[in-house]
Amino acid sequence: AQKVTQAQTEISVVEKEDVTLDCVYETRDTTYYLFWYKQPPSGELVFLIRRNSFDEQNEISGRYSWNFQKSTSSFNFTITASQVVDSAVYFCALSEAGYSTLTFGKGTMLLVSP
Amino acid sequence: DTAVSQTPKYLVTQMGNDKSIKCEQNLGHDTMYWYKQDSKKFLKIMFSYNNKELIINETVPNRFSPKSPDKAHLNLHINSLELGDSAVYFCASSQDRGRGFYGYTFGSGTRLTVV
């Protein structure tokens, strides 16, 4: 059975601070996919990144970066120089190969204050 | 615009009523889903359809009935609404592109409030 744990329920930072959102997953499959989605206060779910289990390269996209470590079953998300517009709930999700169903973590609410 | 569209965006109704939420995608995806997001923001799958065929039916009260007239549409009908059905319901679609699963495109959600 697959499981995603986001242990941080809520994080508060001040603008320009760096922040890391943790994600730990469980799966018995060797082939799987990991995702991050953002849900801003307006409510829509926005895709941020997809990573397959065979690609452990870290990824950077502007102020966002992701650290995938299979040895610790983690897929952490770092926002550098956070901004108020980054305030949102962030979800980590997992899909095992052969299944098109996403299992979501419970989400981390990030509050960035000016 | 290519998208997953849900209607209505907001739905306020009384206990005991029957209501439907509609979802349409014009992305050509084969699989569509309904997810429920509760007040604590937890996202849980309810149903999944692939090419009009039900493939996932999680533990959902049988008052909830999905209907897929074609692969571009997946509607959700709810009978005898209860207070606990109040939530945000998200429709989503996906397509396996042969090199793996690329995740969902979500609709904007329907906020259902049962009073």
Per-residue pLDDT of chain B (115 residues; tens, 9 = 90+): 669 999 999 999 999 999 999 999 999 998 999 999 999 999 999 998 887 778 777 778 999 999 999 989 999 999 999 999 999 999 999 986 655 677 889 999 999 999 9
Record: contact A43-B56, CB cut-off 8 A? no
Residues B15, B17: Cα–Cα separation, whole Å = 6
Q: Give how far B88 is from chain A: nearest CA, Å.
A: 9
Record: contact B108-A109, CB cut-off 8 A? no
Record: contact A102-B48, CB cut-off 8 A? no
Residue A98 — pLDDT band, cuts 50, 70, 90?
A: low
Of B78, B88, B89, B84, nearest to B23 (Cα)? B89
Q: Please give the residue of chain B at the shortest CA–CA distance from A95.
A: B101
Token pair in block for residue A93? 């999700």
What pLDDT, on a 0 to 100 scale, did the predictor assign at position B1? 67
Cα–Cα distances in angstroms (integers) from residue B105 to residues A35, A57, B5, B86, in the given order: 12, 24, 10, 23
Higher pLDDT, B70 or A21: A21
**Which residues of chain B make contact with A88, given a CB cutoff of 8 A?**
none
**B89 Cβ under 8 Å from any chain A Cβ:** no
Q: Give how far B3 is from chain A: nearest CA, Å.
A: 13
Residues A50, A36: Cα–Cα separation, whole Å = 7
What pLDDT, on a 0 to 100 scale, did the predictor assign at position B81? 97
Say if residue A71's pLDDT is above 80: yes
If contacts are CB pairs under 8 Å, which of residues 47-76 in chain A contact chain B? Answer: 47, 50, 52
**B40 Cβ under 8 Å from any chain A Cβ:** yes
Please count the other Cβ atoms lying within 10 Å of the Cβ belonging to residue B64.
18
